[in-house]
Amino acid sequence: MEAFTRVTGIAAPLVRINIDTDQIIPTLFLGGTDAKGYGAHLFHGWRFLPDGRPNPEFVLNQPPFDRAQVLLADRNFGCGSSRERAPKALREFGFRAIVAPSYGGIFFNNCYRNGMVPVELPIEAVREIAAEVDANPAAQVTVDLEALKVISPSGKVYPFTAPTTLRGMLLAGVDEIELTLGKQSEIEGFREKDRARRPWAYLPSESDP
């Protein structure tokens, strides 16, 4: 898994509520079984005009935000469909961090598994940072997962909290499956006891004789 410690870069303001994963990447572009190829369709409906040309009104088409690594958003970002292509599309575009008051729960978990940190800050803080960016779009915002801080262009520091387990995983870039497989004996032990208690939860295999 891709690790993340901190990023300092351009921050794009998209401070709207309820931006759902159908907007982040429409179902139409979920094609294929690949892990990649989604960044080109990020925010497709907003980013492109009906004829396929970039929509000049959309923030991510306006330099320097086309190089943004931090996304500023409002509450309930990433709500809706569980599609993991949503964080994948954001990551492929270049984002490493999102700063918003709250997130869709599945999306929140998916971010951590795709090298990107979803930072929770109150909307007032998001707006303050967005105001600084509005005044100076080229200014850099830092998101530091190790220090649990967001630093605005003017140097104002906003501490945040993150779930310990997910944070540890992302900082170290560990392979979560490997980590769990290390607990194999505990898992086996649990399954044995559980099977005695809830036998109906365990089915015979279809392909077994």
Report the interface residues with another protein, using CB under 8 A: 16-18, 20, 22-23, 26-28, 30-35, 45, 50, 75-76, 79-84, 87, 102-106, 109-110, 113-114, 163-166, 176-177, 180-181, 183, 186-187, 190-191, 194, 198-208
Residues 6+ apart with CB under 8 A from 88: 35, 36, 38, 39, 114
Q: Between residues 84 and 151, which has the closer beta carbon with respect to another protein? A: 84
Among 117, 111, 119, 112, smallest CA distance to 87 is for 111
Q: Between residues 17 and 139, which has the closer beta carbon with respect to another protein? A: 17
Among 73, 79, 82, 75, smallest CA distance to 104 is for 79
**Least spacing, CB of residue 64 vs another protein, in Å:** 25
The token pair that represents 170 in the structure block: 């992302």
Q: Based on the number of CB atoms within 10 Å of its own CB, is 20 exposed (0-12), middle (13-18) or buried (19 or more)? A: middle
Secondary structure (DSSP) of 17-79: S--BHHHHS-GGG--SS-S---GGGTTHHHHB-TTSSB-TTSGGGSTTGGG-SEEEE-SSBTB
**Least spacing, CB of residue 33 vs another protein, in Å:** 4
**Least spacing, CB of residue 125 vs another protein, in Å:** 18
Polymer length in residues for the chain: 209
For residues 47 and 54, give the distance between their C-alpha atoms in angstroms, rounded to a whole number: 6
**Least spacing, CB of residue 118 vs another protein, in Å:** 12
Q: Between residues 53 and 200, which has the closer beta carbon with respect to another protein? A: 200
**Least spacing, CB of residue 75 vs another protein, in Å:** 6
Q: Between residues 90 and 141, which has the closer beta carbon with respect to another protein? A: 90
**Least spacing, CB of residue 55 vs another protein, in Å:** 14
CA distances from 10 to 6, 23, 139, 203 (A): 13, 22, 6, 52
Q: Between residues 34 and 53, which has the closer beta carbon with respect to another protein? A: 34
Q: Between residues 39 and 45, which has the closer beta carbon with respect to another protein? A: 45
